[in-house]
Structure 1
Amino acid sequence: MFNRIRRSFQLRHIQEHTFLDDHLDSDSLVIDLGFNRGLFSLHVLNLYRCQVLAFEPVSELFDARPTGRGLTVVHGAVGGEEKEILIHKSLGTDASSKFKLTEESLGDETVDGYSLERVFSMITDKEISLVKVDIEGSEIELFGFASDYIIRRSKQYSVEFHDFIDPSMIDDINILFARMKRIGYYRINFSRGNGNVLFVRKDCISIFNYIILNFVIRNVRGLMRIFRRKLSFRAR
């Protein structure tokens, strides 16, 4: 039942990122900040046959990148300033981060840094349908160094915030939430924390649909997660 309701509001959930499906088609441009092994980008390509511009900082993952029609992958780290960025590569995980996630490391790597403005300058003035942001702790700098005009070029942002790694980020996250509201975005949090946050430009969704998504469907999803966990616990 929930899946039918979700489809009626054009919601799509891919690799822990939720976004509005009705803004994507074969003419769309999607930007994937945090390509990793490419599962999100490949799924988007398969669904919409659109253009995807992706960024991946880890050399090993970039060298092993999958290919697809309409897919462009850039070797670089996305953050705030346009300067070289030091990333930590952790053993036992595909994640690279400005945080040192584990004591066991695959080493550090310095790569070219891309600001949001520099990312957007690589494309035409075409409006961007979706930006997926999973950049392991650099999301605050990404938005913080970008102007309101640059941010508003995208209809929506699906963001994983990493305050679960660094709780001191929460104040900056709340400041960003207030800024996004001020410049014309609704915020819908599809996770218990801030791991799956959707920003949608207000001209891209009606106030009615926003209310339903934010106060009904979002909470139904939370209740379903709790129910599934209880069922799983009882089955043990």
Structure 2
Amino acid sequence: MNVLLRKLKNFVRREILRDPFLLTAKRWFKDQGDTTLRVNYPLNAQSVVWDVGGYKGDFAHEIHSRYGCKVYLFEPVPHFYAHCVERFKNNPSIVCLQYGLSNADGEFEITDTGDASSFVRLGENNAAYKAQLRDASAVFHALGDPEVDLIKVNVEGGEFFIFPSLIEHGLMPKFNHLQIQFHNFVPNAVEQRQSIRQSFSKTHREDWNYEFVWEGWSRK
């Protein structure tokens, strides 16, 4: 019943109230973005990919299966991390790291809401865990200052901490392709996203954009 009610509410918001986010999401699914734009990149076996917000490892699996590239999967939720470790235990090219990225190191509470787990949005009715965050720029140096061919970020609001750190430390030119899901539930999300995008435009060009759904950039 809850599923039906949610679908009805979304239908009303999308088709009658013309909610911009839901209309954009509808366009994304119509364009089959998950099976085209999100996985079509000029990668090969020498490429390095960062999967930030790895969840159960589906993106890491798909991108490695296509290109044979090295994937660093960042997942702070303990049982999702354990799932990925088990899933990729026989694949040394997919490295699972039990922490998330941010603009500082620390231990934080994270909700367990499946693929919407978040440090930023803590739900009253959801289980929560202590999990680790590490400064994105420090992690970049700790991993050997790599040339990252693709960074995919879906971290339920954490993007507004990750990218300012990378931008501040002048690391954006080290990332060839960006794939980001910005989230609009964060305070001042529109303004924050626009500020980050303006910084992106100094080093990257926008390839495609489904606002607050997914967007892709490539280094100039």
Question: TM-score, normalising length from structure 2?
Answer: 0.75
**Which of 137, 151, 156 is the equivalent residue of 2:172?**
151
**Which of 143, 146, 159 is the equivalent residue of 1:123?**
143
96 and 79 in structure 1: CA distance in 2 versus 1, 3 angstrom threshold: same
Partner of 2:41: 21
* 1:169 aligns to 2:189 (yes or no): yes
Question: Does the 8 A contact of 1:187 with 1:200 survive in 2?
Answer: yes
Gaps (5+ residues) in structure 1? 1-11, 203-236
Question: Does the 8 A contact of 2:75 with 2:81 survive in 1?
Answer: yes
What is the Cα deviation at residue 60 of structure 1?
A: 1.1
Partner of 2:70: 51
28 and 127 in structure 1: CA distance in 2 versus 1, 3 angstrom threshold: same
SS of equivalent residue, structure 1 residue 104: coil
Q: After superposition, give the CA deviation of every residue in 1:65-113 in whole Å (9 maximum; x if it has no partner).
A: 11034010011121111222321223xx33210244654212x222221
Cα distance in 2 between the residues matched to 1:80 and 1:181: 21
Residue type of the alignment partner of 2:74: F
Cα distance in 1 between the residues matched to 2:160 and 2:186: 12
**Which of 51, 56, 59 is the equivalent residue of 1:32?**
51
37 and 142 in structure 1: CA distance in 2 versus 1, 3 angstrom threshold: same
Cα distance in 2 between the residues matched to 1:144 and 1:171: 13
Partner of 2:205: 186
Cα distance in 1 between the residues matched to 2:159 and 2:95: 21
102 and 73 in structure 1: CA distance in 2 versus 1, 3 angstrom threshold: same
Identity %: 21
Question: TM-score, normalising length from structure 1?
Answer: 0.71
Residue type of the alignment partner of 1:79: S
* RMSD of Structure 2 on Structure 1 (CA): 2.2
Partner of 1:220: none
The alignment covers a number of residue pairs equal to 184
52 and 14 in structure 1: CA distance in 2 versus 1, 3 angstrom threshold: farther
